[in-house]
């Protein structure tokens, strides 16, 4: 960790905010190695390392804002979306790899659950449900997919579509991967637009009565399937017909129907405006007959804010976007409900500047709030998407052949987010903070007082306290973090009275630390790899 001269650079950049924007643009475009370190207010304990590997005792329930198992221990949902709602109505990728191999890959990449999508008509249209996988592919002209499916999953290709869906759930269960059943759409196809007939209750393909019937059938079908831990009632409610009155009327009915048919599963409700808005809940809470099972889901992508991340100051954009998200959905945490970011994602090629900057912000916030989440998406490609056969998915965590990760560095970067930092079962008697670095997913480590501070896996973080005087102290010691000089590594010392021991949290994103040297120079804590 080294220090960046803010005052000296004001000669070129009179506005210090513009200076930070300039620095971050360079970093995100790959011309420098990493962002400034983020200081995140996390309550983290050392028992996290041994607790995070523990088996989950199902079924799951909620304890205030946390999801817990039967033993009352925190279970963090770290999921990936697996698409099964397109025209073929079959989980994608089974023409590329055996289902068990894909399930094993999911677990090996650190995901503990899958948000498995399904179209309503799969459960309510008998002519669809009775089709075999082979027949579904034949009707779409997917002859190459049939050959690949026959080679990789011969035991599934002549199953009915609903049986094939169950086979995928079973494979995930065999590999200890939890499943959330997500009613993504009604009529099979790509999602979503405001005028596709699938957006809101009473749209062309969205009959409320049929929807309730489909939810009940799926909840009943998977009752007793222990790895099915939740049901997401409907993806991205949207369109000109959306309104709060019908949201309460039907979402409450849907929640009751699912819970009645399968009381073990978490009941997950989406908001309005493409699953970004729950602000109406501030005035009127959900009224249900059951407790301990309710979770809310929200979606958050970089493209939701157009090109703001690329064209604007990333710190300002991060601050504004996060404030808006907290105002429209994040407040649910304070109301005592789990908040599940059931879709987030980026272009895995790493060349999308907008996505890269958004991800820095998302990673910091998701870590600080210790959110549940599901990455979009697993798919390396699709059987058929918008009329294109074999369409490649650059947001997919697997490559086109579904054989290996598309971007291993991305997986390293989100690995810290896959485990809980706090919550029931993780002792919170020794509260402290960590310094987390979103652009790498690493945390500041301290091996000894003689060695320089460095970044490493968040399983081996240094524990910090942040005092009223704004000093960063190593918990349980008299040592604090000191600014030593321009271009010099920050160091630990016991003289914590000077201005160089005071660390202000600056910028709209609240993800930067600055201090002042004895000569009045203002510097930012920075990280550079040699």
pLDDT in tens, 494-507: 999 999 999 998 88
- Return all residues near 491 (Cβ < 8 A) that are at least 6 apart: 452, 481, 482, 484
- Return all residues near 137 (Cβ < 8 A) that are at least 6 apart: 88, 90, 143, 145, 146, 149, 383
CA–CA distance, 276 with 192 (Å, rounded to integer) = 14
Q: Place 26 in a pLDDT band, splitting at 50, 70 and 90.
A: very low
Q: For the chain, where do the domains classified as CATH 2.80.10.50 start and end?
A: 2-24+429-526
Q: Collapse the DSSP code of 142 into the 3-class scheme (helix H, G, I; strand E, B; otherwise coil) and give the result.
A: coil
CA–CA distance, 21 with 308 (Å, rounded to integer) = 13
Higher pLDDT, 15 or 177: 177
Q: Is the pLDDT of residue 429 over 60?
A: no
- Tens of pLDDT, residue by residue over 387-420, are 999 999 999 999 999 999 999 999 999 999 999 9
Q: What burial class does residue 380 get, using C-beta atoms within 10 Å of its C-beta: 0-12 exposed, 13-18 middle, 19+ buried? A: buried
Least confident of 236-240, 477-481, 504-508: 504-508
- What pLDDT is recorded for position 40? 38
- What pLDDT is recorded for position 317? 96
Q: How far does the chain reach from its first CA to its final CA, in angstroms?
A: 11
Least confident of 21-35, 332-346, 453-467: 21-35
In the numeric block, which tokens belong to residue 245? 């009155």
- Mean confidence (pLDDT) of the chain: 88
CATH superfamily of 61-417: Glycosidases (3.20.20.80)
Higher pLDDT, 34 or 341: 341
Q: What is the DSSP string of 16-38?
A: HHHHHHHHHHHHHTTSSS-PPPE
- What pLDDT is recorded for position 12? 25
Specify the pairing of strand 38-40 against strand 464-466.
Answer: unpaired
Contact status, residue 258 vs residue 207, Cβ threshold 8 Å: no
- Return all residues near 156 (Cβ < 8 A) that are at least 6 apart: 94, 99, 133, 149, 164, 167
Q: Place 523 in a pLDDT band, splitting at 50, 70 and 90.
A: confident
Q: Place 452 in a pLDDT band, splitting at 50, 70 and 90.
A: confident
The CATH number of the structural domain formed by 2-24+429-526 is 2.80.10.50
- Tens of pLDDT, residue by residue over 56-99, are 778 999 999 999 999 999 999 999 999 999 999 999 999 999 99
- Tens of pLDDT, residue by residue over 262-281, are 999 999 999 999 999 999 99
Q: Is the pLDDT of residue 23 over 80?
A: no
Q: For the chain, where do the domains classified as CATH 3.20.20.80 start and end?
A: 61-417
How many residues are recorded in the chain? 530
- Tens of pLDDT, residue by residue over 3-12, are 433 333 322 2
Q: Is the pLDDT of residue 337 over 90?
A: yes
- Tens of pLDDT, residue by residue over 348-362, are 999 999 999 999 999
In the numeric block, which tokens belong to residue 496? 């914590």
- What pLDDT is recorded for position 38? 37
- Whole-number percent of the chain with pLDDT over 70: 88
Q: Place 318 in a pLDDT band, splitting at 50, 70 and 90.
A: very high
- Whole-number percent of the chain with pLDDT over 90: 73
Mean pLDDT computed over 198-211? 98
Question: 31, 34, 27, 30: which is closest to 2 by C-alpha?
Answer: 34
pTM of the model: 0.89
């Amino acid at each position: 960790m080294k220090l960046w001269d803010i005052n000296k650079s004001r000669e070129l950049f009179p506005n210090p905010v513009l200076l930070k924007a300039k620095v971050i643009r360079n970093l995100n475009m790959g011309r420098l190695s990493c962002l400034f370190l983020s200081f995140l207010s996390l309550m983290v304990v050392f028992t996290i390392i041994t607790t995070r590997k523990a088996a989950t005792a199902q079924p799951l329930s909620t304890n205030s804002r946390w999801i817990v198992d039967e033993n009352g221990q925190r279970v963090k949902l770290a999921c990936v979306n697996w698409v099964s709602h397109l025209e073929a109505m079959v989980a994608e990728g089974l023409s590329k790899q055996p289902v068990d191999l894909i399930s094993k890959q999911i677990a090996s990449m650190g995901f503990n659950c899958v948000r498995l999508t399904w179209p309503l008509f799969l459960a309510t249209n008998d002519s669809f449900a009775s089709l075999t996988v082979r027949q579904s592919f034949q009707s779409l002209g997917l002859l190459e997919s049939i050959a690949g499916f026959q080679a990789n999953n011969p035991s599934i290709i002549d199953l009915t579509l609903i049986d094939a869906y169950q086979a995928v759930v079973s494979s995930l269960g065999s590999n200890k991967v939890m499943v959330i059943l997500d009613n993504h759409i009604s009529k099979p196809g790509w999602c979503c637009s405001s005028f596709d007939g699938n957006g809101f209750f009473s749209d062309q393909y969205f009959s409320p009565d049929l929807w309730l019937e489909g939810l009940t059938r799926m909840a009943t079908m998977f009752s007793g399937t222990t790895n099915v831990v939740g049901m997401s009632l409907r993806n991205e409610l949207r369109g000109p017909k959306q309104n709060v009155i019908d949201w309460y009327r039907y979402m409450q009915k849907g929640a009751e129907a699912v819970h009645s048919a399968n009381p073990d599963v978490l009941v997950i409700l989406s908001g309005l405006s493409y699953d970004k808005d729950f602000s109406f809940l501030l005035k009127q809470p959900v009224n249900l007959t059951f407790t301990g099972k309710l979770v809310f889901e929200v979606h958050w992508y970089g493209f939701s804010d157009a090109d703001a991340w690329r064209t604007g100051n990333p710190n300002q954009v991060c601050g504004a976007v996060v404030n808006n998200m907290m105002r429209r959905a994040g407040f649910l945490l304070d109301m005592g409900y789990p908040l599940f970011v059931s879709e987030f994602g980026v272009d895995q090629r790493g060349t999308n500047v907008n996505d890269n900057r958004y991800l820095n912000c998302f990673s910091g916030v998701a870590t600080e709030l210790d959110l549940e989440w599901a990455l979009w998406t697993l798919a390396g490609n699709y059987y058929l998407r918008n009329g294109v056969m074999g369409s490649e998915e650059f947001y997919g965590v697997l490559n086109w052949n579904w054989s290996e990760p598309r971007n291993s560095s991305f997986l390293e970067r989100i690995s810290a987010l896959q485990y809980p930092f706090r919550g029931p079962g993780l002792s919170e008697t020794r509260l402290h903070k960590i310094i987390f670095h979103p652009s790498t997913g690493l945390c500041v480590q301290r091996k000894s007082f003689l060695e320089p501070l460095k970044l490493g896996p968040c399983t081996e973080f240094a524990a910090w306290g942040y005092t009223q005087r704004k000093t960063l102290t190593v918990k349980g010691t008299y040592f604090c973090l000191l600014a030593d000089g321009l271009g010099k590594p920050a160091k630990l010392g016991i003289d914590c009275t000077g201005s160089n021991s005071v660390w202000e949290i600056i910028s709209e994103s609240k993800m930067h630390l600055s201090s002042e040297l004895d000569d009045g120079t203002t510097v930012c804590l920075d990280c550079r790899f040699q």
